[in-house]
C-alpha cells in the first residue's frame, strides 16, 4: 500500500468523501442487523420513522442534537488547534453542576437574565476544569488526552458525591438527583408538548458565532496556524501559550453549555445519567463535519437521528441499542479515511483511489 | 484510629489483593508500552480491554476451555491492533483520533455482541473461572505464601509477562527493531527492514496483551462481564507507561503501586466510610495517575518517533 500526495485539490471529492464515510457506516449497520437476525431493510424503515416519522419524533431528534452540537463544537475548536480535549463529558457535568448550584434557588433573576446567567456560569465551570490541564500541558508537556480523559472519571465521582450528599434534592424520595431548576431558569419549549427546547436554537446560534470567529477573525486564523505548525506560529510572533489557553477554555465552556441545556432544558434537574456519553459522541460529530462549525450542526443532527431512530428501531425489531454506538464509532474511523483520501492517493497493489 | 489504618499493611489479605489487582494494569501497561516503543500511541486500549474481557468471558461461557478463552481474547486484541495499525501506520492517520475511534468501536461492538448473546440478563451470569493454585511447599510460608504462592494461573501468567517483555525488547532481534522503529525509523529503513511491518506487528502484540489484561477481569477477578467494567483502567495504563519511563521493569512497580492504593482504598473505606464519602476514595487512582504524569513528564525521555507517521521516501 502506498500514499501519494494529490497535486490538485478537488472540491468535489472533499464533499463526496464524508458522504462516502456515512454510506460505509450505514452499510456496516446493515451487516450487523443481518447478523442480529433482524430484517435490515425493514429495520432501516423503523429507524427513519423513529427519527422523522412524526412531529414528536422530529422534536426528539432536535432535542438529542442540542448537546451534540455543543460537544461537537467543543471538540471541533480544540482539535483545530491540535489540543486533544477528550474531556467534554466531564466538562458537561461541570456545567450541569453550576446550573444546579446557582439555578435551584440560590439566585433569582428575571427569565431574560437568568438563562444567560446560567450559560455564563456553566461555561465558566467547564473552562475551569480544563484550565489546570492546559497549563500542565503547556508548561510541563503533560499529555492532555490522558489527563482530560482521567478528569472525566474524577468529575463524575464528584457529581455522584454531591448528588448523594450536599446537593441531593430532599424531595427526591431517596434518588440521587439534584433539586429542580427554578422556573425562570428553565429553557422554554419550542414546540408544545415535546422535549424540543430553546437550547436547540441557542446551540445553532453558538455554532454560527463560532464559525464567524474561526473564519472571519484574526483569532480564528491563529487557532488554525497553531494546529498546523506551532513553531512557525511562535516565530511569527503569535502568542502560543495564550492562544492554546483560550482555545482550551473555549472548548471547556462549550461542553459546559451542553450541561446547561441538558439540566435546564431537557431534564430540569441534575442526575448521574444526564449524559449517555455526549462528550465522546461530540468527537464523532466534529470529525464528521471536518471540524467546521456549520457542518457540526448537520452532523449532530445526523448522529441524533441515528440515536433516536435506533432507539425505536431496537424496540421494533429487537436489536440491542448499542448498534447506534457502533455506527457512530465506524463513522469516526471511516471519516478519518475519507479525510486522507482528500489529500492523498491511496494505491493498494494495482488499485488506485 | 491511626493504628487501625497502619494495621491494614500487615494484613496478608491486603498484599494478596494488591498482587491480584495489579495484573490487568500490568498486562495493559506492557501492551501500551510495546506499541509506544514502536512509535505508535494506542488510545484504543480502553476499548480493546473491553473487547478482551467480553470475548474471553463469552468463549468460556459458551463452553471453551479457560486457556482457550485467553487465546481468543488475545486474538480479538490483535485484530483491533491490526485495524489501529492500518490507520495510523499505513495511512498515517492521527493516532489520537484513531485511538479514540478504536475505543468507541471495540467497546460498542462488545456491548452489542454481549447483548445479542445474553438478551435479557439483569444479573450477569458467572463462569467457572481460574482458581487459586497453591504452589507446593512455597504456599505454606507464613505471610508470603498467601501473597505470592496461592494465586490463580492467570496471575502467575501476568507476572511472567514482565521478564518475557524485558527479554523481548532488550535481547530479541525483533524487539530491538521495535525500539528502533520508535526512535529512528529512517535508520531502520536504511538497514533494509520494513518499518511499517515492524510497527504493525508491535501494535498487534501490544493490543493482544491489553485484551488479555481485560480478560483477566472477567476470567480471574469478577468472573462475569459488566457494562463499563474497564472503568478507566486503560487510561490509567497509558499514564503508567509515562510513569514507567517506557521501561517494562518499571511498569511492574507502577502497577503494584496503583494496585496497592486500590486495595488499600477499599479497606480504608470500611474504616473511614462514615467520615469521608466513598467517592473520594474511588477518585484516588485517577487523581494519582494525573499526578504521576506530572511527576514523570519533566524527567523522562519519550521514544523520539512517537506520534510521527513514517512514510517511505519522505523526510521529516
Q: Is the predicted pLDDT of residue B43 greater than 60, yes or no? A: yes
B170, part of any domain? yes
Residue B68: count other Cβ atoms within 10 Å of its Cβ: 13
Average pLDDT score over residue span B250-274: 85
Set of chain B residues whose Cβ sits within 8 Å of the Cβ of A164: 277, 279
Which pairs with CB-CB distance under 8 Å and at least 24 residues apart come from A335-339?
Answer: A335/A18, A335/A21, A335/A287, A335/A288, A335/A290, A336/A287, A336/B87, A336/B91, A336/B93, A336/B94, A336/B97, A336/B98, A336/B101, A337/A21, A337/B87, A337/B91, A337/B93, A338/A17, A338/A18, A338/A20, A338/A21, A339/A17, A339/A290, A339/B93
Residue A191 has pLDDT above 70, yes or no: yes
Q: Return the biggest CA–CA distance within chain B.
A: 66
Whether the predicted pLDDT of B139 surpasses 90: no
Residue B316 has pLDDT above 60, yes or no: no
Express each pLDDT in A39-83 by its tens digit. 989 999 999 999 998 999 999 999 999 999 999 999 999 999 999
Q: How far apart are CA A130 and CA A84, in angstroms?
A: 11
Closest CA to B85 of B9, B176, B198: B198
Cβ atoms of residues A207 and A67 within 8 Å: no
Q: Name the residue of chain B whose CA is nearest to A158's CA.
A: B279
A5 membership: H or E segment, kind and range: strand A2-5
Minimum CA–CA partner of B238 in chain A: A146
Q: Do B104 and A332 touch (CB under 8 A)?
A: yes
**pLDDT higher at B52 or B3:** B52
For residue B170 the three cell numbers come to 532488550
Interface of B with A in 202-221 (CB under 8 A): none
- How far is CA B202 from each of CA A265, B161, B176, B244, rounded to the nearest angstrom? 48, 15, 11, 19
Residues in B closer than 8 angstroms to A86, CB to CB, are 100
Of B91, B92, B283, the CB nearest to A157: B283
C-alpha B93/C-alpha B83 separation (Å) is 12
- Banded pLDDT at B198 (limits 50, 70, 90): very high
Are the beta carbons of B88 and B98 closer than 8 angstroms?
yes
Distance in Å, alpha carbon of B237 to nearest chain A alpha carbon: 10
B142 vs B152: CA distance, rounded Å: 18
How far apart, in whole angstroms, are the C-alpha atoms of residue A279 and residue A87?
7
Confidence (pLDDT) at B274 = 65
pLDDT digits (tens, 9 = 90+) for B57-105: 999 999 889 999 999 999 999 999 999 999 999 998 999 999 999 999 9
The answer to the question of residue B285 being in a domain is yes
Query: Using 50, 70 and 90 to split pLDDT, how confident is the model at A352?
Result: low
Q: Is there a contact between A120 and A57 (Cβ–Cβ < 8 Å)?
A: no
In chain A, what percentage of residues exceed pLDDT 90? 66
Residue B91 and residue A328: Cβ atoms within 8 Å? no
- The whole-angstrom distance between A73's CA and the closest CA on chain B is 16
Mean pLDDT for all residues in chain B: 89
Q: Which of B238, B286, B297 sits opposite A153 (nearest CB)?
A: B286
Cβ B91–A165 below 8 Å, yes or no? no
Query: What Å distances lie between residue A100 and A198, A254, B144, CA to CA?
Result: 18, 17, 51
pLDDT in tens, A240-259: 899 999 999 999 999 999 99
Interchain proximity B290–A147, CB inside 8 Å? yes
Name every chain A residue with its beta carbon within 8 A of the beta carbon of B90.
1
pLDDT at position B32 over 70: yes
> Tell me, what's the pLDDT at A121?
97
Confidence of residue B107 (pLDDT cuts 50, 70, 90): very high
Whether the pLDDT of residue B315 is over 60: the answer is: no
Where is pLDDT greater, at B131 or A51?
A51
Q: Using CB atoms within 10 Å of the CB of residue B273, give its burial: 0 to 12 exposed, 13 to 18 middle, 19+ buried.
A: exposed
Which of B48, B93, B100, B300 to mutate: most A Cβ within 10 Å?
B100
Whether A28 has a pLDDT exceeding 70, the answer reads: yes
Q: Give the pLDDT confidence of A148-183 residue by residue, as tens digits.
A: 999 999 999 999 999 998 888 888 777 889 999 999
Confirm if B312 and B45 have CB atoms less than 8 A apart.
Answer: no
B316 and A CB contact within 8 Å: no
By the 8 A CB rule, do B148 and B137 touch? Answer: no
Instruction: Answer yes or no: do A320 and B232 touch at CB < 8 A.
Output: no
**Domain assignment of residue B82, yes or no:** yes
How far is the C-alpha of A323 from the C-alpha of B113, rounded, in Å?
A: 10
pLDDT band at A97 (very low <50, low <70, confident <90, very high): very high
Q: Which three cell numbers stand for residue A133?
A: 490541564
**SS3 for A4?**
strand
B96 and A136 within 8 Å at the Cβ level: the answer is no
Q: What's residue A342's pLDDT?
A: 84
Give me the mean pLDDT over the B265-294 stretch: 84
* B129 belongs to a structural domain: no
pLDDT of res. A334: 92
Contact B211, B55 (CB under 8 A): yes
Interface contact flag, A320 B87, Cβ < 8 Å: no
Count of domains observed in chain B: 1
Q: Which residues of chain B are within 8 Å of residue A346 when distances are taken between CB atoms?
A: 91
Q: What is the ipTM of this complex?
A: 0.92
Q: Quick check: is B88 in a domain?
A: yes
- Number of Cβ pairs < 8 A linking chain A and chain B: 128
Give B143's pLDDT tier (boundaries 50, 70, 90).
Answer: confident
| Bridge partners, residue A345, by sequence | A4
- What values do phi and psi take at A110, rounded to 5? -65, 155
Strands A344-348, A2-5: parallel, antiparallel or unpaired by DSSP?
antiparallel
| pLDDT on residue A231 | 83
Minimum distance, in Å, between the CA of residue A311 and any CA atom of chain B: 13
**pLDDT on residue B281:** 87
Domain extent at residue B78: 27-118+154-297
Q: What is the pLDDT of residue A303?
A: 94
Closest residue in A to B87 (Cα–Cα)? A337
Partner A, chain B 141-200, Cβ-Cβ below 8 Å: none
Q: CB distance A325–B238 less than 8 Å?
A: no
Answer yes or no: do B294 and A150 touch at CB < 8 A.
no
Residue B170, beta-bridge partner list: none
Residue B83 lies in a domain: yes
pLDDT at B120: 72
Average pLDDT of the residues in A137-148: 90
Residue B292 phi/psi, 5-degree rounding, is -65, -35
Contact between B126 and B223 (Cβ < 8 Å): yes
**The pLDDT of residue A14:** 77
Per-residue pLDDT, B89: 94
d(Cα A125, Cα A65) in Å, to the nearest integer?
A: 22
> Which residues on chain B are in Cβ contact (under 8 Å) with A337?
87, 91, 93
CB contact under 8 A, B231 and A153: yes
Low-confidence winner among A22-36, A314-328, B117-131, B222-236 (lowest mean pLDDT): B117-131
Whether B130 is covered by a domain: the verdict is no
Grid cell in block for residue B8: 491494614
Cα–Cα distance for residue pair A160/A273, rounded to 1 Å: 10
Chain B nearest-CA residue for A160: B279
* Contact present, B213 and B28 (Cβ < 8 Å): yes
> Taking CB atoms and an 8 Å limit, are A284 and B93 in contact across chains?
no
Q: pLDDT per residue over A197-222, tens digit each?
A: 999 999 999 999 999 999 999 999 89
Tell whether the model's pLDDT for residue A1 goes beyond 70. Answer: no
Q: Using a CB-CB distance cutoff of 8 angstroms, which residues of chain B are in contact with residue A158?
A: 279, 283
Of A221, A338, A155, nearest to B232 by C-alpha is: A155
CA distances from B70 to A104, B82, B147 (A): 51, 18, 23
Is pLDDT above 70 for A21?
A: yes
Name the H helices within chain A: 11-35, 40-52, 55-80, 88-103, 111-140, 144-164, 199-216, 218-228, 230-235, 240-260, 278-288, 293-317, 322-343
In this prediction, what percent of chain B has a pLDDT beyond 90?
A: 61
And the C-alpha cell for A132? 489546570
Residue B302 lies in a domain: no
pLDDT above 90: residue A228:
no
A136 to B294: CB separation less than 8 angstroms, yes or no: yes
Q: Tell me, what's the pLDDT at A353?
A: 64
- Taking CB atoms and an 8 Å cutoff, what residues of chain B touch A329? 101, 104-105, 108-109
Distance in Å, alpha carbon of A118 to nearest chain B alpha carbon: 27
Residue B287 forms contact with A (CB below 8 Å): yes
Given pLDDT bands bounded at 50, 70 and 90, which one contains residue A5? confident
Interface test with B, best of A133, A146, A327, A346 (most B CBs within 10 A): A146
Amino acid at each position: 500500500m502506498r500514499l501519494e500526495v494529490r497535486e490538485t485539490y478537488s472540491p468535489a471529492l472533499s464533499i463526496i468523501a464524508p458522504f462516502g464515510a456515512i454510506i460505509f457506516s450505514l452499510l456496516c449497520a446493515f451487516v450487523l442487523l443481518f447478523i442480529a437476525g433482524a430484517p435490515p431493510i425493514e429495520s432501516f424503515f423503523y429507524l427513519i420513522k423513529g427519527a422523522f416519522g412524526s412531529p414528536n419524533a422530529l422534536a426528539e431528534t432536535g432535542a438529542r442534537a442540542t448537546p451534540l452540537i455543543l460537544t461537537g463544537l467543543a471538540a471541533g475548536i480544540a482539535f483545530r488547534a491540535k489540543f486533544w480535549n477528550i474531556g467534554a463529558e466531564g466538562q458537561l457535568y461541570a456545567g450541569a453542576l453550576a446550573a444546579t448550584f446557582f439555578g435551584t434557588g440560590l439566585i433569582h433573576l428575571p427569565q431574560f437574565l437568568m438563562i444567560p446567567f446560567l450559560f455564563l456560569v456553566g461555561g465558566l465551570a467547564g473552562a475551569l476544569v480544563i484550565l489546570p490541564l492546559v497549563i500542565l500541558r503547556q508548561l510541563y508537556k503533560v499529555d492532555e488526552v490522558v489527563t482530560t480523559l482521567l478528569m472525566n472519571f474524577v468529575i463524575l465521582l464528584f457529581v455522584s458525591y454531591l448528588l448523594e450528599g450536599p446537593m441531593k434534592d430532599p424531595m427526591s424520595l431517596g434518588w440521587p438527583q439534584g433539586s429542580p431548576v427554578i422556573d425562570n431558569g428553565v429553557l422554554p419549549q419550542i414546540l408544545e408538548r415535546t422535549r424540543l427546547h430553546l437550547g436547540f436554537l441557542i446551540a445553532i446560534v453558538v455554532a454560527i458565532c463560532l464559525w464567524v470567529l474561526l473564519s472571519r477573525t484574526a483569532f480564528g486564523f491563529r487557532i488554525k496556524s497553531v494546529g498546523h505548525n506551532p513553531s512557525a506560529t511562535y516565530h511569527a510572533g503569535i502568542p502560543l501559550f495564550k492562544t492554546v489557553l483560550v482555545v482550551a477554555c473555549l472548548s471547556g465552556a462549550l461542553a459546559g453549555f451542553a450541561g446547561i441545556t441538558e439540566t435546564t432544558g431537557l431534564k430540569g434537574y441534575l442526575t448521574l445519567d444526564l449524559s449517555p456519553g455526549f462528550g465522546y459522541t461530540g468527537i464523532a460529530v466534529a470529525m464528521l463535519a471536518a471540524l467546521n462549525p456549520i457542518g457540526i450542526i448537520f452532523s449532530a443532527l445526523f448522529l441524533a437521528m441515528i440515536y433516536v431512530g435506533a432507539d425505536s428501531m431496537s424496540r421494533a425489531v429487537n436489536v440491542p441499542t448499542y448498534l447506534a454506538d457502533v455506527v457512530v464509532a465506524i463513522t469516526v474511523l471511516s471519516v478519518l479515511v475519507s479525510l486522507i483520501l482528500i489529500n492523498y492517493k491511496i494505491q493498494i497493489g494495482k488499485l488506485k483511489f | 484510629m491511626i493504628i487501625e489504618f497502619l494495621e491494614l499493611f500487615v494484613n496478608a489479605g491486603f498484599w494478596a489483593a494488591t498482587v491480584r489487582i495489579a495484573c490487568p494494569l500490568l498486562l495493559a501497561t506492557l501492551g501500551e508500552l510495546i506499541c509506544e516503543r514502536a512509535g505508535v500511541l494506542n488510545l484504543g486500549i480502553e476499548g480493546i480491554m473491553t473487547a478482551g474481557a467480553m470475548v474471553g468471558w463469552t468463549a468460556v461461557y459458551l463452553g471453551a476451555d479457560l486457556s482457550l478463552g485467553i487465546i481468543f481474547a488475545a486474538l480479538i486484541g490483535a485484530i483491533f491492533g491490526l485495524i489501529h495499525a492500518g490507520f495510523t501506520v499505513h495511512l498515517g492517520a492521527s493516532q489520537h483520533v484513531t485511538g479514540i475511534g478504536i475505543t468507541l468501536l471495540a467497546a460498542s461492538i462488545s456491548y452489542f455482541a454481549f447483548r445479542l448473546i445474553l438478551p435479557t440478563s439483569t444479573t450477569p451470569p458467572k463462569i467457572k473461572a481460574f482458581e487459586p493454585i497453591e504452589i507446593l511447599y512455597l504456599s505454606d510460608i507464613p505471610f508470603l505464601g498467601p501473597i505470592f504462592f496461592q494465586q490463580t494461573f492467570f496471575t502467575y501468567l501476568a507476572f511472567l509477562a514482565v521478564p518475557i517483555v524485558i527479554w523481548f525488547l532488550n535481547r530479541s532481534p525483533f524487539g530491538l527493531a521495535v525500539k528502533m522503529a520508535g526512535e529512528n525509523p529512517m535508520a531502520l529503513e536504511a538497514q533494509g527492514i520494513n518499518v511499517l511491518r515492524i510497527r504493525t506487528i508491535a501494535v498487534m502484540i501490544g493490543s493482544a496483551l491489553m485484551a488479555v489484561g481485560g480478560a483477566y477481569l472477567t476470567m480471574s477477578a469478577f468472573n462475569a462481564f459488566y457494562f463499563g467494567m474497564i472503568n478507566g483502567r486503560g487510561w490509567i495504563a497509558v499514564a503508567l507507561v509515562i510513569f514507567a519511563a517506557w521501561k517494562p521493569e518499571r511498569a511492574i512497580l507502577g502497577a503494584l503501586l496503583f494496585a496497592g492504593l486500590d486495595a488499600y482504598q477499599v479497606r480504608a473505606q470500611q474504616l473511614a466510610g462514615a467520615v469521608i464519602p466513598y467517592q473520594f476514595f474511588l477518585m484516588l487512582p485517577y487523581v494519582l495517575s494525573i499526578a504521576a504524569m506530572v511527576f514523570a513528564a519533566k524527567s523522562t525521555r519519550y521514544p523520539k518517533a512517537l506520534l510521527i507517521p513514517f512514510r517511505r521516501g519522505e523526510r521529516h
